[in-house]
Amino acid sequence: MAQVLEYTVGELLEKTAEAYPKTEGMVYRDLGLRQTYAEFNQATDELAKSFIGLGVEKGEHVAIWAANKPEWLLSQFATAKAGAVLVTVNTNYRSAELAYVLQQSDASTLILQKSLKDVSYLEELQKILPELQTSDPGKIKSERFPHLKRVIFIDEEGEPGTFSWSEFEAKKDEVSDAKLHERKASLDADEVINMQYTSGTTGFPKGVMLTHRNIVNNASNIGDCMNLRAGDRLCIPVPFFHCFGCVLGTLACVTKGATMIPLETFDPEAVLETVEAEQCTALHGVPTMFISELNHPSFDAYHLSSLRTGIMAGSNCPEEVMKAVIEKMGAAEITIAYGQTEASPVITQTRVDDAFHRRVETVGRALPEVEVKIADRHTGEPLPPGEQGELCTRGYHVMKGYYKNEEATSAVLSEDGWLHTGDLAVMDEDGYCRITGRLKDMIIRGGENIYPREIEEFLYTHPKVLDVQVVGVPDETYGEEVSAWVQLKEGETATVDELKAYCRDHISKFKVPRYIAFVSEYPMTASGKVQKFKLREQAEEAFRNVEI
């Protein structure tokens, strides 16, 4: 059995830098930036001094709102060494959502880039913090954000009331090596070091408190399951603000001495270029990312023979996509991971030597040192293999709780340590789990329980269908009806009647979607998860007065 590690994030990096000092730790190809593990470890030490010099105390909350920039990656490990809690902010957020996170998290410091794509983060911040323009840097006083004192821009030019990145970095000169060592020595693996806000697929975000122990061990076991090792090179196009980027991605690399090769933002061709140019052996992504890469017009022009492993997670993987990732991209050891932010995040994962059917029909089995049970939703008692219930988990990976939200915490965490995921699942006799739906996603039509996942999986078998999402729509007669939101493959056309006829020929009548809509995209979180609560809202609006 794997042993639970008692390292802080900073100690982990130091051990890896000592073991693999000359191995490339961080590569940003487009920026021409390469650092060995020894250099990366030193750079994060210097930046940790900058945080301390800025006045950031142990346990303070430092929010970061930026794409996968080098400064984000350096800050992940520097805040850990300084004992500050990194609050990761969704790059899709706008002013109201940013205000919510800054207030709810009690962040004392905000790091951000000035703009991303067509959105000015500076303007979004100024909307909610007009005091910034008349404040001295480091001395912000805001009634709305009483804890917020400092704003740092990932830019060489600051703005009124803020520090530029170079001004921030210069603060290291005020802090001795001894002071940094003292701060590091005060840290404990059981202390909260990371606060992730739930991605919002089911409603209002909650601040998930994760410890050094939570994420170091989860990352290490994830790496073992995907056979990640020293010398591997992982392309990371998934966002850092999500656990997929900063635990399954960067931290998993550091636990094994593998090279981190992030992309600042996802672009399918940039992924293909990076894999080829950097000879990446591993690649992460949600299914929609892999679909975009595989269907890119220039796909065949790239040589991806270096690929071996990686992780697909975030939503269920269609069989054809998995087959193409293995056969066309060469990632024969690609794994599937399942979890949620509250579990650091991975609970179950397939292994590199699992049969193909395990990788498309299940989400794997429990990670080492992780307990999983399928529980009766009413009694909480474990169910036998083959019976559907709620997937619950217990172990080193379970969060401390939701920040300042004891009611929500007690709703998902039992007194004996079980985390209730809200996901419906079935476990086989070998411990492999199949997710069958979410408790909140379940559609109850005329007393019949309908699990959207089942209908989605069936519609994936239609040759014209690229992707599909199924949600319930309120109905006066049956309580709820089924709606399917379908993306067609490029160049294909289909009719509602055609898809309904296909369903009627193969699945129970009560499961046939009453409503079908063709769409080009879904409402998504920045980490690639479909926001089903928004789809439900759209469905309710779209089909309110539709007569079938």
CA 426 to chain CA centroid, nearest Å: 24
Quick one: CA torsion of 412, 414, 419, 424, rounded to 10 degrees? -70
- Rounded Cα gap, residues 512 and 519, in angstroms: 19
Give the residue among 527, 532, 538 at the shortest CA–CA distance from 201.
Answer: 532
User: Can you state the angle between helices 70-82 and 37-54, rounded to 10 degrees?
Assistant: 70
pLDDT at 319: 86
pLDDT at 18: 98
Asked whether residue 413 is domain-assigned, the answer is: no
Domain's final residue, options 197, 224, 257: 197
Residue with tokens 């690229």: 466
Residue 65's φ and ψ, nearest 5 degrees, are: -125, 90
Domain's final residue, options 178, 197, 216: 197
Q: What is the DSSP string of 510-540?
A: GGS-SEEEE-S---B-TTS-B-HHHHHHHHH
List beta partners, residue 390: 375, 424
Cα torsion 266, 270, 272, 274: sign: negative
Do the Cβ atoms of 15 and 407 come closer than 8 Å? no
pLDDT at 312: 94
pLDDT at 12: 98
Residues (pLDDT < 50) of the chain are: 1
pLDDT at 400: 98
Query: Domain containing 32: what range?
Result: 17-197
Amino acid letter for position 78:
A
Give the residue among 289, 294, 284, 295 at the shortest CA–CA distance from 258.
Answer: 284
Give the residue among 524, 392, 510, 493 at the shortest CA–CA distance from 443.
Answer: 510
pLDDT at 200: 54
The CATH number given to whatever domain includes residue 53 is 3.40.50.12780
- Rounded Cα gap, residues 332 and 327, in angstroms: 7
Asked whether residue 292 is domain-assigned, the answer is: no
pLDDT at 548: 56
- Tell me the C-alpha to C-alpha distance, in Å, between residue 189 and each of 76, 84, 253, 384, 488: 16, 13, 19, 36, 48
Token couple for 264: 């600042």
The CATH number given to whatever domain includes residue 452 is 3.30.300.30
pLDDT at 453: 84
Give the residue among 530, 532, 534, 529 at the shortest CA–CA distance from 242.
Answer: 529
pLDDT at 445: 87
Count of structural domains within the chain: 2
- Rounded Cα gap, residues 164 and 449, in angstroms: 55
Domain's final residue, options 146, 179, 197: 197
Asked whether residue 293 is domain-assigned, the answer is: no
Using the CB atoms, write b or e for 328-343: b if 16+ within 10 Å. ebbbebbbbbbbbbbb
Query: How confident is the prediction for the chain on average, in pLDDT?
Result: 94
Q: How many C-alpha atoms does 407 have within 13 Å on its Cβ side?
A: 0
Do the Cβ atoms of 75 and 82 come closer than 8 Å? no
Asked whether residue 120 is domain-assigned, the answer is: yes
Asked whether residue 187 is domain-assigned, the answer is: yes
pLDDT at 547: 63
